[in-house]
Amino acid sequence: MATYDLIIVGAGVHGASLAFHLAQRGVRPLVLERASVAAGATGRSSGLVRMHYALRLEAELVWHSFPYFRHWNELVGFGDCGFVRTGFLRVVGPQYEAALRANVRMLQQVGIPTWLLTADDVRRLAPYLTTDDFRVAAYEPESGYADPPATAQGFLQAARARGALLRTGAPVQALLTTPDGSRMRGVRLVDGSTHQAEVVVLAAGAWAPRLAATVGLDLPLTTWSHDVMFVQRPAGVRWFPADLTVIDDANEMYFRPEQGNLTLVGLEVGNPIGEDPDSPTDYPHPGFVERAIEHVVRRVPLLAEGALHSAHRGYDGLSPDQRAIIGPAGPEGLWLNVGHSGTGFKIAPAVGRALTEWLLDGQPRLVDLRAFGLARFAQGRPLQPEHPYGPLWH
């Protein structure tokens, strides 16, 4: 039985960020991954790097994460996160205009560069967008998108250079405790081998509930499925002056540019809940492409002349309030970083740093993660923004 400083289960972007920040502090974690780096939700993430959150805690996390994407070489130094600055637009239905205005004020208080644009402003900025169904939208000139698998790979390369260890193709079968079940002592892999550590961080996404159950911990997570399509844009169409990344709540979808004259499109409605995360992901659910086309052409009519390039699906863990579950839970030494509910990519750098502080120093200093603890559900304290836009996924 090999012994390690700490074991991280899962090599998605959150496990990778945590490994990097721990290694910066001199800890040598072992990262165990059932398949390959970014094989789960990270590999199917749409990669939006936007800072418009309605919950202040998440806004603080993304604001502290943003420098990593903009200054990757200086802060991480390995690989390339693939950040592309496009500018970001958040559109909501008329019933949420007051909430949008309030949230923009909150985001500005956090320090995020964002402001309101009128519909006329948006039309001048991006003439290819329809603007007749809203009066104002929130705009972030510095935001855009990045490459989630490359981000995870870069974090892990930097972590390994500082002594962290990575094993891929190493599915964990069970978490292991002391005989009385009170403390963690490691993990057992499917091949029967065991690895010892007094601290285990579960960052296994949609697969986390299965592993938590092996030590009697019932995680209130279900599986959320997200489908994405890539549209080949019609030839000869100019997308400037701004080729924006957009979350369009009014039309229950989001889209962003992609290399190769493509547009990535995802929906915020009709996402299946509770499916087996081991289901095939190489193709979308029946009917998704037709629905996605219907939604996106309402905002970008030019895409009606485009062509389907490809489509796929992915899975993530969905919590009851659709926010992450982070912190200690169950036997002493077990920590959670799960339930990111489809929006965790762009906050991963700050979560990894703050969780490292919590693990090593006794409290998170960068951003207070304690409100994300599992106990909030039993205590009736779900995380809810003061000015919501309705359910995130439905």
The residue behind tokens 């900025």 is 125
Mean pLDDT of 132-149: 98
Split at pLDDT 50, 70, 90, the class of 114 is very high
pLDDT surpasses 90 at 300: yes
Residue 240: pLDDT band by 50, 70, 90 thresholds? confident
pLDDT in tens, 275-289: 999 999 999 999 999
Question: SS3 letters for 217-280?
Answer: CCCCCEEEEEEEEEEECCCCCCCCCCCCEEEEHHHCEEEEEECCCEEEEEECCCCCECCCCCCC
List, edge to edge, every strand of the sheet that includes 2-3.
Answer: 2-3, 194-196, 184-189, 172-177
Q: What is the pLDDT of residues 307-320, one digit of tens each?
A: 999 999 999 999 99
pLDDT in tens, 377-394: 999 999 999 999 987 765
Q: What is the pLDDT of residue 247?
A: 98
Which superfamily does 2-46+149-220+321-378 belong to?
FAD/NAD(P)-binding domain (3.50.50.60)
- pLDDT-derived band at 236 (thresholds 50, 70, 90) equals confident
Distance in angstroms (rounded) separating the CA atoms of residues 351 and 116 = 28
Tell whether domain 85-143+222-318 is in CATH 3.40.50.720.
Answer: no
Q: Give the whole-number percent of the chain exceeding pLDDT 70.
A: 99
State residue 241's pLDDT score: 79
Q: What is the pTM of this model?
A: 0.98
Question: What pLDDT does residue 157 have?
Answer: 98
Mean of per-residue pLDDT scores for the chain: 97
Rounded CA gap, 335 and 163, in Å? 21
Average pLDDT over residues 290-297: 98
Domain extents for the chain? 2-46+149-220+321-378, 85-143+222-318
